[in-house]
Amino acid sequence: RAVQDANPGGRPVQVVAHRGASEDVPEHTLAAYRKAIEDGADALECDVRLTADGELVCVHDWRVNRTSNGRGAVSSLELADLAALDFGSWKGSPGEPEAPDRYDPGERSRVLTLTRLLELIHETDRRVELAIETKHPTRWAGQVEERLLEVLRRFGLDRPAPGEPSAVRVMSFSSRSLRRVQTAAPDLPTVYLMQYVLPRHRDGRLPAGVRIAGPAMRIVRANPGYVARLHRAGHRVHVWTVDRPEDVDLCVELGVDAIITNRPRQVLTQLGR
């Protein structure tokens, strides 16, 4: 059913495609992001990891085993090794009757670099925001963030355009990773991801400098009042991963600011968009 499409502050609820339109198309591939943009997603979510030769690639797991035909840790492989793997064949296409033929086989199976994803957004003729999650930041002691900011700088995205909200935000479960980003790029919004609520965050206050809270849907379901507490503490609230219609309804009722979902088309339809 269609539900109200704005939070109590009157801001529209953003629909963010988690790993692209990843229910239908293999996650983190160019095809998954193309589909999310076609589906009308307001923003895209991606995870980034460093390869052995210092490239940022969009891969969720620390190893490539689940989502490719290869084996091993992303951090032990060079970009050329990853480029030789197939990141698409592991997944069927339940929601895409015409796929995989609909996509260039490379776009549906090749490893995606952050640079290529930013190029796709740049080529798009409407505003599409990007939420980038730093994975495994502690092992790399600052290199993930350093490289990330270098890439964003190249696209002029390390700070918002004057008078506009930032098109990019950096997310992490690690407050240390977010602090590094805040120090190097103070105008870039950061999202503190939460798997569970630590006692020191129960009142809604998050690590210094963090503007956006990223609670798991599980937290919101168990404690709906927490969204209002986060809002009162001055944070926006971006909830993940919201795939069930009843969870979408709850998020809208609570006035969350963004819904991060594997099925952006279905969520947009539910929102009447």
Residue from 133, 145, 158, 257 in contact with ligand G3P (CB under 6 A): 133
- Give helix 175-184 / helix 143-154 axis angle, nearest 10°: 40
Residues 35-64 that bind ligand G3P (CB under 6 A): 45, 47, 60
Residue 127 CA: distances (Å) to CA of 11, 123, 211: 16, 10, 21
Q: What is the DSSP string of 26-84?
A: -TTSHHHHHHHHHHT-SEEEEEEEE-TTS-EE--SSSBSTTTSS--SBGGGS-HHHHHT
Of 18, 201, 235, 238, the active-site residue reads 18
| Of the residues 17, 121, 258, 260, which one makes contact with ligand G3P according to CB under 6 A | 260
Least distance from ligand G3P to the Cβ atom of residue 260, Å: 5
The residue type at 235: H
* Smallest separation, CB 21 to ligand G3P (Å): 14
Q: Is 33 in the site for ligand G3P (CB under 6 A)?
A: no
Closest to ligand G3P by CB, 55 or 133: 133
Q: Which is nearer to ligand G3P, 42 or 133 (CB)?
A: 133
| Residue 195 CB coordination number (10 Å) | 11
Q: Is 235 helix (H, G, I), strand (E, B) or coil?
A: coil
Q: For residues 67 and 60, what is the distance between their CA atoms, to the nearest angstrom?
A: 9
18 belongs to the catalytic site: yes
Contact residues toward Ca ion (CB under 5 A) are 47, 133
Contact residues toward ligand G3P (CB under 6 A) are 18, 45, 47, 60, 133, 193, 214, 240, 260
Report, as residue numbers or ranges, the catalytic residues: 18, 60
